[in-house]
Amino acid sequence: MAGTDPRRPGSDPAPPRPVAGVVVRRGKHLEIDPLFQPGLPLLPAREGITPRAGDVVLYAYSHGRRARVTRVVGSATVLRDVLEALLLDGLERRGFEPSVLAGAAEAARLERRADSDRVDLRDLFTFTVDPATARDFDDALSFRATERGTLIYVHIADVSYYVREGGEVDQEALRRGTSVYVPTSVEPMLPEVLSSGVCSLLPGEDRKAVTAEMELDGRGRVLGVRFYRSSIRSDERLDYDQLEAIFGGGLRASTGLGRALELGRPLAQTLRANRYARGSLRIESSEPDFHWDSAGDVAGAHPAEELESHAFIEEYMILANEQVATFLGMEKVPTVYRVHDLPDPFNLDHLLDLLAGLDVPTPVFDPIHAGPADIRRVMNEATEIIDRLVVKGRGKAALTQQVLRTQSRALYQTQNIGHFGLALQTYCHFTSPIRRYPDLLVHRGLLARLGLAPPPTTSTLPEWAEHCSRTEREAARLELKADDIALAFLLARRLDEQGWDQVFAGEIMSFVRSGAFVRFEQLHEGFLSARELPGDYYELDDLEAAMVGRRTGIAFRLADLVRLRVLAVDAARGRVDLTLADRERVGG
């Protein structure tokens, strides 16, 4: 394809993105400070909109030290306004062009078309499980007993049916690469008429799907697999908390759901046990779960828990992704794999040195002669040691974070090198085509090989895979920043209501030369400047695992528990400044 191909990411120069800023009064003058990008304060230009102190605005450089305000987004004291500014600042485009919306509306009319090549599964009991606030339902499940075991049906929205390769909707979806989710809103990969409309597997609605039908025996072994286009109708829509309540006995399942869970629940547990037995990593990252009030505003948050309901859905999505990838690999169909390389053995060796320096027992490891089996063994052993660790005055979250940082980054590419974290030889993303473009590419390759769709373009798959890896990273950066901002708003409100003299228990998570990042209440994270450490001048050691007093030798180490007070919260930027509550460590 030529270099001017509009589907080639980055082929056309992108227009300058707007810059988000907050308007502050300094003396007699108003100035605009950039919110999310580095830069100097600027004076509002005479042309453009005249802002007020406290406004969150979009602006463009004008001349001299002046900036032209192009839009007032809202107030720096309103979370929804700040997160909207974050998306406007970080995304190339917020919302869809009229031509893309028109193309999506036209494609949505295909919902009414009858398809003779679809397997009618509308009488099969089917259910979805998603977050409570979800509006786009990519996947649904069904179960049926057989003489040899259990048939698992993983139904995935047939997005490629509606999104024609090379059309305006497809070009825009490729440019975005993924949906971006922040606590107050979403910037979807596809227009709402598709993402929350005809593609979404809504309860009680006939929907077009691609089904992975897999027969497993009681030991979790795959006995047979089929893939086909289907017509389904979801009978129930559950959220994770509801399914967890059913598992815990606090909520009664309907007759159809009860029968499905009798088949699916023990099998999911078997699949998980098998995955761990083959060496899949067991590292859990900490993310916030937000609560919303009746107006849809963020009202609170708690650390996310690893629920059985999450594991239940995860195992079947992993199974379907693996089976699709295995089929495409065996059939030599060009596709985009989800790959996760081995950790660099010398990075792993550095991790072990760091743990040993913190008095954590470590397994024997030779980075020069280590093979994949050695790396997997040592990684799992280190994780298990940290999980069992009980030391007065020492936490675990920071050590787990160090293990995560040792890992290679999972990404998309056309060359299959396996998935280290899942201990799988072949893996792809197939189960979320509403919100991830690589899944859409996988669907097209699969359906073409089955004779159900035209052959897709494959010559630019490597380039598209790299582009999707990049958009995934950019989306993750925005989502993490949005979480920090939402948590900072919640913290500031709590301190205003309850008083700023509260003392928190925190764990030192990481260091930079100027201080430490500390997590407290397993949720919030703030910065403890080295200037706030008592009685000495503190320097970072060679392993970056401790700050040590130059004169006294007193050390503040990674994973140490400390008592804190909050000095300041810059909610709009998601920044929290901390100080020690006293010279004693929690538990010490």
CATH number at residue 532: 2.40.50.140
Strand pairing report for 222-233 and 119-120: parallel
Same-domain check for residues 559 and 469: no
Same-domain check for residues 428 and 513: no
Q: Tokens 């909520």 label which residue?
A: 251
Q: How far apart are CA 157 and CA 210, in angstroms?
A: 6
How high is the pLDDT of residue 16? 63
Residue 555 lies in a domain: yes
Could you tell me the maximum CA-CA distance found in the chain, to the nearest angstrom?
A: 82
How high is the pLDDT of residue 84? 97
pLDDT > 50? residue 1: no
Mean pLDDT value of segment 267-288: 90
Query: Percent of the chain at pLDDT above 70?
Result: 96
pLDDT > 90? residue 80: yes
Residue 9 lies in a domain: no
How high is the pLDDT of residue 584? 47
pLDDT digits (tens, 9 = 90+) for 393-433: 788 899 999 999 999 999 999 999 999 999 999 999 999 99
Residue 14's pLDDT band, with cuts at 50, 70 and 90, is: low
How high is the pLDDT of residue 13? 55
Same-domain check for residues 23 and 117: no
Same-domain check for residues 451 and 473: yes
Residue 12 lies in a domain: no
Same-domain check for residues 157 and 136: yes
Q: How far apart are CA 437 and CA 170, in angstroms?
A: 9
Residue 203 lies in a domain: yes
Q: Backbone phi, then psi, for 408, in 5-degree steps?
A: -70, 160
Q: Tokens 């308007």 label which residue?
A: 23
Which one of 90, 106, 125 terminates a domain? 90
How high is the pLDDT of residue 15? 56
The H or E element that residue 316 is part of is helix 308-330
pLDDT > 90? residue 352: yes
Same-domain check for residues 317 and 255: yes
Residue 583's pLDDT band, with cuts at 50, 70 and 90, is: low
Same-domain check for residues 72 and 127: no
How high is the pLDDT of residue 7? 52
Strand pairing report for 555-557 and 43-44: unpaired
Residue 217 lies in a domain: yes
Residue 239's pLDDT band, with cuts at 50, 70 and 90, is: very high
When mean pLDDT is compared across 208-212, 263-267, 534-538, the lowest value belongs to 534-538
- Beta-bridged to residue 226, according to DSSP, are 213
Mean pLDDT of the chain: 92
Residue 588 lies in a domain: no
Same-domain check for residues 123 and 169: yes
Q: How far apart are CA 428 and CA 265, in angstroms?
A: 24
How high is the pLDDT of residue 201? 97
Q: How far apart are CA 231 and CA 398, in angstroms?
A: 47
When mean pLDDT is compared across 187-196, 236-245, 471-480, 532-541, the lowest value belongs to 532-541
Mean pLDDT value of segment 527-532: 95
220 DSSP 8-state letter: S
Same-domain check for residues 267 and 374: no
Q: How far apart are CA 7 and CA 22, in angstroms?
A: 36
Would you tell me the crossing angle of helices 345-357 and 372-388 to the nearest 10 degrees?
30
Tell me how many domains the chain contains: 4
Beta-carbon-side half-sphere exposure of residue 562 (alpha carbons within 13 Å): 29
How high is the pLDDT of residue 585? 45
Q: Backbone phi, then psi, for 554, in 5-degree steps?
A: -65, 135
pLDDT > 80? residue 172: yes
pLDDT digits (tens, 9 = 90+) for 372-398: 889 999 999 998 888 888 777 788 899
How high is the pLDDT of residue 133? 86
pLDDT digits (tens, 9 = 90+) for 89-144: 999 999 999 999 999 999 999 999 999 999 999 999 999 999 988 889 999 999 99
- Beta-bridged to residue 20, according to DSSP, are 58
Residue 155 lies in a domain: yes
Mean pLDDT value of segment 512-521: 95
The token duo for 35 is 């919110």
How high is the pLDDT of residue 31? 95
Sheet containing strand 66-75, strands side by side: 29-34, 19-26, 55-63, 66-75, 43-44
Strand pairing report for 524-529 and 66-75: unpaired
Residue 287's pLDDT band, with cuts at 50, 70 and 90, is: confident
Q: How far apart are CA 261 and CA 250, in angstroms?
A: 15
C-alpha dihedral (386, 390, 392, 393), degrees to nearest 10: 30
Range of the domain at 218: 98-339+412-484
Which one of 407, 442, 460 terminates a domain? 407
Same-domain check for residues 204 and 126: yes
CATH value at residue 81: 2.40.50
How high is the pLDDT of residue 391? 77
Residue type, 198: V
pLDDT digits (tens, 9 = 90+) for 293-320: 877 788 899 988 889 999 999 999 999 9
In 358-449, which residue ranges form alpha helices assigned H by DSSP?
A: 372-388, 397-406, 437-449
How high is the pLDDT of residue 529? 96
Same-domain check for residues 473 and 524: no
Which one of 433, 456, 484 terminates a domain? 484
pLDDT > 60? residue 568: yes
Same-domain check for residues 388 and 249: no
Residue 277 lies in a domain: yes
How high is the pLDDT of residue 392? 79
